[in-house]
Amino acid sequence: MRLLLVMLSLLASVVNLPSAEPANWPQWRGPTRDGQVAGPAWPDSLSAEKLKEKWYVKLGPGYPGPIVSKDAVFVVETRDGKDEVVRALDRKTGKQLWEASWPGSVRVVFIGRPNGDWVKATPALAGDTLYVVGMRDTLTALDTANGKIRWQVDFIKEFGTGVPGFGCVSSPLVVDDAVYVQAAGSLVKVEAKSGKVLWRALKSPGDGLKDNAFSSPFFATLAGKPQVVVQARKELAGIDPATGNTLWSIPVPAFQNTNVLTPLVIGDRVFTSSYSGGAFLFEVTKEGEGFRVTEVWKTKTQGYMTSPVLIENQIYLYLRSNRFASIDPKDGKDNWQTEKSFGKYWNLIAQKDRILALDETGDLRLIRATSEKFDLIDTRKIAQVATWGHLAIAGNELFIREQDGVRAWEWK
């Protein structure tokens, strides 16, 4: 009898074990901010049998990638050319849970107008707060339960800087109790709970056109020191998160200072590539009480907007020439480049030896990562309109932001 009671007790404890929470996609380029994703292995095909559409919700125009929590999908749009709108959608059905909005229009400069005047930065989710960057250099904290605005910082008013000529496009980074964003021609640290500005680093005059950042910050430990790594318009730098002091910096040449992609950390080295500037690998080392940054190599290979991924110590980068390449970080030489060119932009997600690449033309490609050759497994047209927003993968679900909507898909 006693043995039976013990067995029943054990069974009850197993039955009542909490199930694991569904995977999420909390920020720009995923959970680790480098385009890498864990979870179930991807199928070997993008066929309709393997990748099925779950739901679709029409939105106003926008390029922010979807943010995915345990039970909601957060999307951002520009409505009627004047307001920025955030919507929370039920993850299972796409049904709207709430929406929040504020004035936020920018008439971008003519060179950027073909890509629209609408909102572009991808939000960040931390706990029960969603942090949203607006086109007019604003940062807004929203309660994820109801969309209530907890606080909003207007960096133009805060620092007296100009309206960004291309709109603020830098996706926020949340680390511990702070939010970091490239705004007002600088890197700004804001207290996550209150919205209080804690420091402003890499200050430039804040000219709305010349100082408008295109990249997004990320957190790394280089030469034993945790730091915020920032690609500004003219330089790559490491910033002390406590003080805002510049630990190291080095110029990154680019045509009209067009540094766009988010660089890639490889140990104590940082890889980046710029429009007309080439590809670079820099190494950060400790030197006395400070740090030293040196150029390990430079090549003529040119990236542009697509942020690279690292797989089995090889770099995979979509190029300014609209070709895809594999680069050996030891010497910067191309393992290969595709002969064919594709759309203007890809966003990349990697899992083990696979890459998912979403072309801005609406083509989704499944690629086997190998330094030997370009190995395309499958391609599928999944949208008939522009797909600039970064795709999101959470568990066996895939969320794609089209220019005027968002679609949820499910791996089978």
Strand residues in 41-128 grouped as ranges (E): 51-58, 67-68, 72-79, 83-90, 96-103, 124-126
Question: Rg for the chain (alpha carbons), in Å?
Answer: 22
pLDDT value at residue 20: 62
Backbone torsion region of residue 92, taken as left when φ is above 0, otherwise alpha when ψ lies between -120 and 50, otherwise beta: alpha
Q: What angle do CA 282, 286, 291 make, to 5 degrees?
A: 70
Q: Which residue has the tokens 């009627």?
A: 80
Q: In terms of Cα–Cα distance, which of 283, 279, 356 is closest to 36?
A: 356
Q: Cα separation of 14 and 8, whole Å?
A: 10
Output helix, strand, coil percentages for the chain, rounded to the nearest 5.
5, 45, 50
pLDDT of the residue at 106? 85
Q: Which amino acid, 122?
A: T
Q: Which amino acid is at 204?
A: S
Q: Quick one: CA dihedral 106, 112, 118, 122, positive or negative? A: negative
pTM: 0.93
pLDDT number for residue 231: 96
pLDDT at 52: 96
Residue 261 amino acid letter: L
Residues of the chain with pLDDT under 70: 1-20
Strand 334-337 versus strand 346-351 pairing type: unpaired
Q: How far is CA 149 from CA 102, 157, 248, in A?
A: 10, 18, 36
Distance CA 135, CA 394 (A): 27
Asked whether 114 and 121 are in contact (CB, 8 A), the reply is no
Instruction: State the pLDDT at residue 16.
Output: 40
The first and second tokens of residue 47, run together, are 């066929």
Domain 21-30+63-207 class, CATH top level: mainly beta
- Domain positions in the chain: 21-30+63-207
Residue whose tokens read 């500005």: 197
